[in-house]
Amino acid sequence: MREIKYVEAVNEALMEEMENDTGVFIIGEEVSCAGGAFRATEGLFEKFGPERVRDAPISESGFTGLAVGAAMAGLRPVAEIMYLDFITTAMDQVINQAAKVSFMSGNRIKAPLVIRAPYGIGTREAAQHSQSLEAWFAHTPGLKVVMPSTPYDAKGLLKTSIRDDSPVIFLENRILYFKKGPVPREEYLIPLGQADIKRKGKDITVVALSNMVPKALEAAGMLSEEIEMEVIDPRTLVPLDIETIAGSLKKTGRLLVLHEAPERCGFGAEIVRQVSEQAFDYLDAPPKVLGGLNVPIPFSPVLEDACVPSAEDVADAVKKIIPR
Amino acid sequence: MKKETMPEALRIMYRIRLFEEHAKKMHKENLLAGNFMGALHTYIGEEAIAAGVSMLLNKDDYVFSTHRGHGHFIAKGGSIKKMLAELMGKEAGCSSGRGGSMHLFDTEINFMGGNGIVGAGLPLATGAAYRAKYLKTKQVSVCYFGDGAASQGTFHESLNLASLWKLPVIFVCENNCYAVNTPVSETICIKDVAQRASGYGMPGEAVDGNSLSDVYTAAEKAVARARDGAGPSLLECKTYRIDPHCMVAGDMRKKEEIDKWKERDPIKLSEKWILNEGIAGPDDLRKIREEVAEEIKEAEQFALSAPLPDRKKFREEAMDIDGSKGALK
Ligand SMILES: Cc1ncc(C[n+]2csc(CCOP(=O)(O)OP(=O)(O)O)c2C)c(N)n1
Ligand SMILES: [Mg+2]
C-alpha cells in the first residue's frame, strides 16, 4: 500500500469530504494559499475557492463562533485553530454554544462542525504553544473528541467526524504530522468509538493516546524478549471504546495508560476510573497512568524533554508493574 | 525630539539589530545541526518604534510585549546577556530558560513579558495601568501589539475599558502590513487601525513607524496624556517586517515589496538624519556601532558559558509547583 504523511491524510480527508458535500467549508487562519501553518489545507483553495476555504483574521472567537452558527443553520464547517492552545480564546463558542445547543434545543438544532487543531509538545515553542488539552473537551458533555495517531486513522476518522452531527474536536499531533504510514487509495471510514489494537500481547495492556502510541510501540520492541505488551489506541476519547480495553485486561490483568498531558485530571484518570468500576476483577496489579509533568511546558529543550514520558520511561514503567 | 538624544536612540536600534542578526545566525546554525529551537520572530525593520517609545519611559513604567519582543525588551533597558541566555534555554536567562524568545521578562524594568497569544497583552497592560491609577503612582503602561491583534476581541474590550476608566495606557499598534502572510487589507476594512480609537473615545494617530522622530513626537503626546491622568491613546506605527514571520514559516511576500521597504530602513533613515543635522559625525556613529558589537560579543560569551537548567531538580520541583505533592507520604 502507498505511504503518505499524517498531514497529507488529513488533507485527503478534507478534499474528499468537500467533494462529497457542498455544505462542507473550511475556515481558519491562512488556510487558503498558505495551506494553514502546517499545510493541512494545501490545494483546497485552488480547487474550491474562497467561499469554501475562508481565511479569517486573527479572531478565533469570532470565526469559531461563526462556524458554530453556520453549523446550526445547516452547513458543515471545519474550523482550523492554528495551534490548539489558541482555542482558549474561543472557549465560550465551543463549550457554552457548540457543545450545548443540540441538548438545550431539545434536539431541534444540531451543530455538525469539526474543530481541527494541531497540538502537542516537542517543538521548543514553550508554554502557550505546546499544550495537550484533550481532557478539557472530554470533560464537556456534548463534544466528541478524536485523537488519531496514524495517517490511516487520521483520514478515516476525519471523514467520519465531518459527517457526524455532533461537534467534534479533532486533535492532530504536530510531531506525528510528518510521519508516514500506509493509507489506501480507496475511500474508507472509521467509526468513532472503536479502539484499535496496535500490537498484540498477553502480559500487560498499555493504552496510549496519540503521540504516546509510537513511543509505546518502541517500548514494546525494546522489551519484546521478556514481556509481551498489548498496545491499544482508543483513537476517540468520546465516545470511548472501554470494551476493547476491558477485553484486553481480561487476558493481561495489568494496565498502564499513557498520555503527554499532565497526569492530574488527565484522560488516563478517566480510563482508570472506568476500568476500576467495570473491570476491577480482571486486574492483578494496581492500574497506572504515566503522563506529563504537572507543569506548564518550558522552552529550554532539556526541560521540555523532561516533561513527557519517553519510550525508555514507558519501558521502565512496564517493568515496574510486571513482577519478575 | 531633542537632537542630542538621537544618537542614544540610534544606539538602541543598533543594539536590537545586531542582537537579532546574532540570534538569527545562532538559530540557523542550530537548525542545520538538527536542533530546532522553536520560532524566532525578529523585529528587523521595526526598531524605530520601540526605540522612539522607550525614550519617553521611566524604568518603572510597564511594558507588555508580543511574540516579537526582542526590540521591546532591549529598548526598555533589558540585559542582552540575559536575553541571549534565554534564547539558548539557559538557567541564567531572563526567564530562567522557561520562556524562550516569546516569553521575555524583566521585573527590574517592569518588562511584563512577551506573549505567545496574539492580542493577550492588551487587557494585561490595561490591568497594570489600573494599578498605577489605583495607587496614584504616575506610571504609564505601554502595550505593543501587531496589526493582526487588532482583530481580536481583547483589542476592542481593552480599549473600551481603558477609556471608560481613563487608565494610563498607551496602545502601540505596530502595523507591519502583515500577520504572518496575511496582508492587513484582508483583515480590516478601514485604512488605519488608529481610526478605531474614535469609537472608544480616545485619541488615535497613525504615524510613520520607520521615522524615529515621528514615533517619538506622537508617543510624547500619548505618554503625557496618560501621565496627566487624561486616559489612554492608540498610536499606530506603520512599518514593515523585513524578515520572514519567524524564520521557520514560509514567506509569500513579494521580493520587490521587501526591497522597497529596505530602502526605508529605520536605522539608515536615522543615521542620515543625524548626519544631516550635524548632531554627530560618521566616526561617532561608527564608534557607537562598534561598542554595540562588543556588547553582543560579551553577551555571547556569557550565554555560551552559562549552564543549562538542571533536569533532575526541575522534575522534583515540578512535583510541587502548586502545593500538591506528587506522592503519598
Ligand atoms: C490567538 C492566537 N492566534 C494565532 C496565533 C498565531 N500567530 C502568531 S503571530 C501571528 C501573526 C500576528 O500578526 P501581528 O499581530 O500583525 O504581529 P506581527 O507578527 O506582524 O508582528 C499569528 C497568526 C497566536 N499566536 N495566537
Ligand atoms: Mg503584523
Query: Quick one: pLDDT at residue B326?
Result: 55
Predicted confidence (pLDDT) at residue B329 exceeds the cutoff of 70: no
Identify whether A305 is part of a domain: yes
Tell me, what CATH number does A260's domain have?
3.40.50.920
d(CA B68, CA A63) in angstroms, rounded, equals 24
Identify the pLDDT of residue B110: 98
- Judge if A162 and A234 occupy the same domain: no
Q: Is residue B66 part of a domain?
A: yes
Cell of A175: 510531531
- DSSP secondary structure code for residue B2 in this structure: -
Burial of A17 (0-12, 13-18, 19+ CB in 10 A): buried
C-beta neighbour count of B326 within 10 angstroms:
14
Whether the CB-CB separation of A118 and A38 falls below 8 Å is answered with yes
Task: Identify whether B328 is part of a domain.
Answer: no
Q: Do the domain assignments include residue A111?
A: yes
B95: three-class secondary structure by DSSP:
coil
Four-CA torsion A119, A123, A127, A129, nearest 10 degrees: -40
Which of A182, A207, A242 finishes a domain?
A182
Are A161 and A203 part of one and the same domain?
no
Decide the pairing of beta strands A144-146 and A229-233.
unpaired
pLDDT tens-digit readout, A128-143: 999 999 999 999 999 9
Identify which of B41, B44, B67 to mutate to test ligand 1's pocket (most ligand atoms within 8 A of the CB): B67
CB B44 within 8 A of CB B17: yes
**Residues A17 and A155 both lie in one domain:** yes
Asked whether the beta carbons of A209 and A308 are under 8 A apart, the reply is: no
Are both A26 and A140 inside the same structural domain? Answer: yes
CB contact under 8 A, B318 and A34: no
User: Which residues, in sequence order, are bridge partners of residue A3?
Assistant: A182
- Domain assignment of residue A188, yes or no: no
Considering its fold, how many domains does chain A have in total?
2
**For residue B155, what is the domain's CATH number?**
3.40.50.970
Is the domain of A149 the same as that of A33? yes
List of residues 6+ apart from A79 with CB closer than 8 A: A26, A27, A28, A63, A64, A67, A113, A114, A115, A116
**pLDDT value of position A150:** 98
Ligand nearest to the CA of B46: 1
Any CB–CB contact under 8 A between B151 and chain A? yes
For the cut 70, the answer to whether the pLDDT of residue B327 exceeds it is no
pLDDT in the model for residue A48? 98
Give residue B325's pLDDT.
60
Cross-strand bridge partners of residue B235:
B172, B205
The pLDDT of residue B319 is 76
What dihedral do alpha carbons A213, A41, A124, A145 form, nearest 10°? -40
- Whichever domain contains A103, its CATH number is 3.40.50.970
Question: Is residue B329 situated within a structural domain?
Answer: no
CA B215 to chain centre: 14
Residue B328: pLDDT band by 50, 70, 90 thresholds? Answer: low
The closest CB to that of B38, out of A29, A126, A306, belongs to A126
With CB atoms and an 8 Å threshold, state whether B102 touches A29: no
- Is residue A262 within 8 Å of A292, Cβ to Cβ? yes
Best of B314, B324, B325 to disrupt the A interface (most A CBs within 10 Å) is: B314
Whether A127 has its CB under 8 Å from any CB of chain B: the answer is yes
Domain, as residue range, for B230:
3-319
Query: Domain range for residue A215?
Result: 196-321
Residues of chain A short of pLDDT 50, as ranges, are none
Residue B327 domain-assigned (yes or no) = no
Contacts of B185 (CB under 8 A, 6+ apart): none
Task: Name the B residues in 19-38 with CB < 8 Å from any A CB.
Answer: 35-38
Identify the sign of the CA torsion B305, B308, B313, B318. Answer: positive
Concerning whether A125 is annotated as a catalytic residue, the answer is no
CA distance A298 to chain B (A): 4
DSSP-assigned letters across all residues of B134-155: HTT----EEEEEETGGGGSHHH
Q: Which of B209, B212, B181 is nearest to B194 (CA)?
A: B209
B8 within domain boundaries: yes
SS in 3 state form for chain A?
A: CCEEEHHHHHHHHHHHHHHHCCCEEEEECCCCCCCCCCCCCCCHHHHHCCCCEEECCCCHHHHHHHHHHHHHCCCEEEEECCCHHHHHHHHHHHHHHHCCHHHHCCCCCCCCCEEEEEECCCCCCCCCCCCCCHHHHHCCCCCEEECCCCHHHHHHHHHHHHHCCCCEEEEEECCHHHCEEECCCCCCCCCCCCCEEEECCCCEEEEECCCHHHHHHHHHHHHCCCCCEEEEECCEEECCCHHHHHHHHHHHCCEEEEEEEECCCCHHHHHHHHHHHHCHHHCCCCCEEEEECCCCCCCCHHHHCCCCCCHHHHHHHHHHHCCC
Contacts of B182 by beta carbon, 8 Å cutoff, 6+ apart: A29, A30, A55, A57, B148
Residue B158: inside a domain:
yes
Q: Same domain, yes or no, for A46 and A169?
A: yes
This prediction has a pTM of 0.97
Q: Is the same domain home to A175 and A210?
A: no
| pLDDT score at B270 | 97
Same domain, A25 and A48: yes
Phi/psi at A68 (nearest 5 deg)? -65, -45
Residues A168 and A201 in one domain: no
Model pLDDT, residue B214: 97
Residue A191 in domain: no
Note whether A74 and A23 are same-domain residues: yes
Cell triple for residue A137? 473537551
The residue out of A151, A182, A213 marking a domain boundary is A182
Cell 496510549 identifies what position?
A208
Do A76 and A149 reside in the same domain of the chain?
Answer: yes
Residue A61 distance to chain B (closest CA, Å): 8
Put simply, the answer to whether A85 touches B117 (Cβ < 8 Å) is: yes
pLDDT for residue A307: 97
The predicted structure's pLDDT at residue B23: 98
Which pLDDT score is estimated for A217?
98
The total of structural domains in chain B comes to 1
In a domain, A190, yes or no: no
- The pLDDT value recorded for residue A302 is 97
**Are both A80 and A216 inside the same structural domain?**
no
Annotation says A259 is catalytic: no
Any A CB within 8 A of B102 CB = yes
Residue A159 maps to a domain: yes
